[in-house]
Structure 1
Amino acid sequence: MALPAQKTETHGLPYWELVMMVACLMAMNAAAIDIFIPALQDIGTALQVSDANQRQLVITAYLLGFGGGQLLYGPISDRFGRRNVLLVGITIYVIAAGLGTFSTSFSMLLALRAIQGFGASATRVIAVSVVRDCFGGRRMASVMSLVMMVFMAIPVVAPNIGQGIMLFGSWREIFVIVALFGAGVGIWAAIRLPETLAAENRRELTGKRVAEAFRIVLTNRIAFGYTMATAMIFGVLFGFINQAEQIYTQAYGLGPYFTLVFSATAIFMAAASFMNSRLVERFGMRRLSHGALIGFMGMAALHLAVAYFCGGRAPLWFFVPMMTLNFCLFGFIGTNFNALAMDPLGHVAGTASSVLGFMQTFGGGIIGAVIGYFYDGTLIPLLLGFITLSILSTLCVFLAEGRLFDAKYEPVTTPHPDRIEPSAAE
C-alpha cells in the first residue's frame, strides 16, 4: 500500500506522521514490558523475591494497571477530546517510571508499575480512538497493521537495550530510560498532535451517558465476540512474555544471549503485521484472521506433541522456528480482531476503545499470569495454554459471526486525508 505523499503544511499532521506517532504511543507499552524481561532475575534478587515465578508480577502488575485504567480514559476522552487526556496519561507514566528508580521493596515496585500502567492506558485508548476517528473498515485495519509493524520493532530492540543496561548498570537505570522515552513521545504529541474528535461528536460525561456507551459496546455481538477472542489471543502473548526469561535461560540455558533469540521472533512478527497491512484490503480481515487462528491452533498442537515426546520441551532448533511461526500468525490475528471489534463502534470510539482495551488487556493479563504461574521448567503448561486459548478464541468468533470466513461486506474505500487537520474545537 503506497502512502500518500507527504504534505509540508505545519498546521496539520501528515499521514505518515500520524502512523508513526500512534505507533510510538503504542510502543511505550511494549517498551515498559519487554525492556524489563532481562532484569527480572536481578530485580528478584535485589528485592528479596524468593519464588522465581513471582518475578513475573513485574509484568503482570503493569498489565493490570494498564487494563483497568482504560475504563476511565475512554469516557473522559469522549467528553473532553483526545489530546489533553493523552498528555495527562503520559505524565503519570513518566512520573511513575522515574519513581520506580527509587523502589526499596518489591511491593513498592509493583505499586509503581501498576500506576505506570494506569498512565500508559491513556496511550492505548487514545491511539486506537484517533485511528478510529480518522479511518474505518479495511483502511483502519491497514493503518493499524502499519502501526503494529512499528510497534513490534520495540520487542526486537527493547530486551537487548535492557540487557545492555544490565551489563553496565542495574535495573534501576532501565526505569530512567523508560521515563525518558515516554517524555520524548509526550513532547512530540504535545507539539504536533491535533484534536481529532470533532466538537459535535463529544458525549456528555454523565453516569447515564457512560452506561449507555458501555451498553452499546457490550450488546453489539460483533464487538463483544471479537473482544473476547482478542483477550484469549493476548493471553497467549502475555503468557509467553511472562515465561520467556525462564524458558530461554533455564530450560534452554541461553543466559544473557536469550534476548537475541527473543528479538528474532519479534522481527518476524513485525513482518507479519506489515504483510497484513498489504493483504487485508485485498482479502479482508475475516479471511486473514480466521485462517491464521486455525493455523495457530494446529501448530500449537504439533508443538505440544513434539514437546511431550521429548520429555517436556522440544529441541531448541525446533522450538525457535515453531514459536516464530506461531507469532507470525499472531500478527494476522490481533490487529484484525481489534479492528473488527472497533468497526461498528465509531460513534462511541473512546468509550469503545476503553471497554475493549480493558477486556482484552486486563483479561489477557490475568490469563497470561495464570499460565505463567504453572511454569514447571517445561513447555507443557505454555503450549496447553496456547491450544486452550485458541480454541476458546475460535468459539468467540463463532459467537460473533455464526461461522468462520464469513463473506460479509467489509468497507474497503473509506477515504482518508493526506494530513489530519485540527478539529474546530481545538
Structure 2
Amino acid sequence: MSAVPNAETRGLPYWELVILIACLMALNSAAIDIFIPALQDIGSALGVAEENRRQLVITAYLLGFGAAQLIFGPLSDRFGRRPVLLGGLAIYITASIVAIATPNFEFLLTLRAIQGVGAAATRVIAISVVRDCFAGRKMASVMSLVMMVFMAIPIIAPNIGQGIMLFGSWREIFVAIAIFAIGISLWAYIRLPETLDPKDRRELTGARVFEAFKIVITNRTAFGYTMATALIFGVLFGFINQVEQIFTVTYGLGPYFTIIFSITAVFMSIASFLNSRLVERFGMRRLSHGALFCFLGLALIHAFVAYELNGATPIWFFVPVMTLNFCFFGFIGTNFNSLAMDPLGHVAGTASSVLGFMQTFGGGIFGAIIGYMYDGTIVPLLIGFCVLGTGALVCALLADGGLFKRRHARADPEGSRPAE
C-alpha cells in the first residue's frame, strides 16, 4: 500500500498507520471492556454493596476521558501531535500502575478518571492524525478500517479480563493494560511522525482557542453530527454499563457471558469493515442515515416484545437482535464522526477535542443514566436505545437541513458526488 504523505519521511506505510492509530484508540476500549467481568469482584473487594454503583468504574473513566479532550486538542494544534500523545500516554501508564494498589473504591474512581485523562490524548491525536492525512470519503474509509481493528478489543478484552480473574484478581488487570500502553508508547515514539503541517500550528492563547471552539460549535454540520454521535455513543455506553448484570443476573449465564459479548463485537467489527468498503461508493450520509433508521426500528420492536414478555425476551431472541442492532451501529458512529470532522480540517486538533468532549462526555452521561436504570429487566436499556436513537435522528436531520436533499450536494463534504 502507498505511504501516507505526511509519513513518507519516516517510511510509515498506510497499513502501519492504520494499525497504529487503531491500537491508540484500542487503549480506550481496553480500559473499558477488560473491566466488564471484574465489576462484581471490584465491588465486593472494595465494599460497594449497591450493584448499579459499581458501574461508576466505567463512568469515571469516560468522564475523565471526555473532559480532558478539551485540553489536548488546543495543545496538539500548538505543539504538534507527537509530544501531546506521548505525554498523555505517560499519564495513562502512571494511573494504571498506581491503581494496582488502590485501597478503596473512591480512590479507584479518581485513578480511573485520571487514566481517562491520559487516554484522551490518544483519541484526540488519533483522529487528528487521520484528518491531517485524509479528507472526505477517504477519511471515512480509513476510520472504518481503524474501527475494524479497534473493535477487535471488545472481542478479546472481556475474555482476557475473565482469564486474568481466573488466575489472579482485578488488580492484575491494571498490570495488563499498563504493559499494553507501554508497548504502544514505544511504537509511537519510534515510528509515528509529526503530521501537523507547520502552517496549521495555532498560537496557544485564549482568543485563538475560543476562536477554534467557536468554529466548531457554529458549524451546523459539525455541531449536529457531534450531538448525534454523543447520543448514539450513549447507546453503546449504556449497554456496556449494563451488560454484565443483564447476562449474569437477568439471564443467569455466569462468567461465560464474555463469550456472547465477544460475538456481538465480532459482528460490529465486520460492519465497520463493510462500511470501509461501501462508504466510498454510497457516501457517509446514505449509509449512516439508513443504518440509523434500521437501528431505531429494530430497537422499538425489541422494546415492545420485551415489555409484552414481562421485561425480558428469551436469550435466543435477545442475542441475535442485539447483535444485529450493533451491526447497524457499526455504520453510524464512524460516519457521523467523519461528517462532523470533515469541514474542520484547519483546526483539526481543537475540533477533535471539542467533538470528542461532546461525544464522549455526553455519551458517558447518557450511558450512565441508562445503566443506572437497570431493574433486573432489559426494558430500561431498550427504552434508552429508542430515546437516544430518536434524538440522534433529529440531530442528523438538523445537521443537514433534511435527509438526502440534493440542494445540499454542492456543500457535501464527501466529495464531488452528492450524498444521496
TM-score (ref. length: structure 1): 0.95
| Corresponding residue number in structure 1 for 2:29 | 30
| Corresponding residue number in structure 1 for 2:217 | 218
Once the two structures are TM-superposed, the CA of residue 9 in structure 1 deviates from its matched residue by 7.6
| Corresponding residue number in structure 2 for 1:388 | 387
Structure-2 separation of matches of 1:69 and 1:338: 18
Q: Secondary structure at the match of 2:10?
A: coil
Change (3 A) 1:74 1:10: closer
Change (3 A) 1:275 1:345: same
My pick for the range that moved more, 65-74 or 398-407, is 398-407
Structure-2 separation of matches of 1:183 and 1:413: 42
Count of residues in correspondence between the two structures: 412
| Corresponding residue number in structure 1 for 2:338 | 339
Structure-2 separation of matches of 1:413 and 1:162: 46
Once the two structures are TM-superposed, the CA of residue 11 in structure 1 deviates from its matched residue by 2.6
| Corresponding residue number in structure 1 for 2:42 | 43
Structure-1 separation of matches of 2:394 and 2:53: 32
1:188-225, Cα deviation, whole Å (9 max, x unpaired): 00000000001111000000000000000000000000
| Corresponding residue number in structure 2 for 1:136 | 135
Superposed, which structure 2 residues align to 1:248-263 within 5 Å?
Answer: 248-263=247-262
Amino acid at match of 2:249: Q
Amino acid at match of 1:260: I
| Corresponding residue number in structure 1 for 2:359 | 360
1:98-118, Cα deviation, whole Å (9 max, x unpaired): 111001100010000000000
Once the two structures are TM-superposed, the CA of residue 246 in structure 1 deviates from its matched residue by 0.2
Once the two structures are TM-superposed, the CA of residue 12 in structure 1 deviates from its matched residue by 2.4
Structure-2 separation of matches of 1:4 and 1:387: 42
Structure-1 separation of matches of 2:177 and 2:416: 39
Superposed, which structure 2 residues align to 1:88-103 within 5 Å?
Answer: 88-103=87-102
Runs of 4 or more above 2 Å deviation: 3-12, 405-414
| Corresponding residue number in structure 2 for 1:349 | 348
| Corresponding residue number in structure 1 for 2:316 | 317
Change (3 A) 1:273 1:406: farther
| Corresponding residue number in structure 1 for 2:368 | 369
Once the two structures are TM-superposed, the CA of residue 403 in structure 1 deviates from its matched residue by 1.1
Structure-2 separation of matches of 1:281 and 1:388: 30
| Corresponding residue number in structure 1 for 2:329 | 330
Structure-2 separation of matches of 1:395 and 1:367: 16
Can you give the 5+ residue segments of structure 2 that lack an aligned partner in the other structure?
none
Structure-2 separation of matches of 1:18 and 1:195: 12
Kept in 2: contact 1:91–1:119 (CA 8 A): yes
Amino acid at match of 1:125: V
Kept in 1: contact 2:222–2:341 (CA 8 A): yes
Greater relative contact order (CA < 8 Å, ≥ 6 in sequence): 1
Amino acid at match of 2:173: I
Change (3 A) 1:6 1:90: closer
Kept in 1: contact 2:248–2:254 (CA 8 A): yes
Kept in 2: contact 1:300–1:387 (CA 8 A): yes
Kept in 2: contact 1:70–1:357 (CA 8 A): yes
The sequence identity of aligned pairs, in percent, is: 71
Structure-2 separation of matches of 1:10 and 1:190: 15
1:241-272, Cα deviation, whole Å (9 max, x unpaired): 00000000000011010000000000000000
Structure-1 separation of matches of 2:127 and 2:13: 17
Kept in 2: contact 1:145–1:274 (CA 8 A): yes
Between structures 1 and 2, the one with greater helix share:
2
Once the two structures are TM-superposed, the CA of residue 6 in structure 1 deviates from its matched residue by 10
Structure-2 separation of matches of 1:393 and 1:59: 23
Structure-2 separation of matches of 1:343 and 1:233: 19
Can you give the 5+ residue segments of structure 1 that lack an aligned partner in the other structure?
415-426
| Corresponding residue number in structure 2 for 1:119 | 118
Structure-1 separation of matches of 2:267 and 2:404: 25
1:128-154, Cα deviation, whole Å (9 max, x unpaired): 000000000000000000000000000
| Corresponding residue number in structure 2 for 1:190 | 189
